[in-house]
Amino acid sequence: MRSFRVNTFGAAVLLSTLLMGVLGAFVLIPVACIQWTWNSLATQLFSVPLISAWQATLLYIAAGCLLYLSGLIHIEIKSGSSTLEP
């Protein structure tokens, strides 16, 4: 059996990279798409002002809350020790 040592700094860098990747995939990319879509399409079709990244973030949160409250998205947290009932 082989054993190996884990470099704590390397593990911290790897975990930070993974966390930033998840943050980018689920928060930053949709917010950038919302801001780009609003600023390019909505201002041409309607007389609305441009929005900033912060306002796009708030719009993203509001859309998520609306989807959750309407029942289209169901969030469920399960524990690892679930029992099966016959």
Kindly report, residue by residue over 19-71, the tens digit of the pLDDT. 988 888 888 899 999 999 999 998 888 888 999 999 999 999 999 999 999 98
Split into its structural domains, the chain has a count of 1
Domain that holds residue 62: 26-72
Q: Is 63 inside any structural domain? A: yes
> In this structure, what token pair is assigned to residue 9?
């700094």
Q: Is 81 inside any structural domain? A: no
Q: Is 5 inside any structural domain? A: no
pLDDT for the residue 81: 62
Q: Is 34 inside any structural domain? A: yes
Q: Is 52 inside any structural domain? A: yes
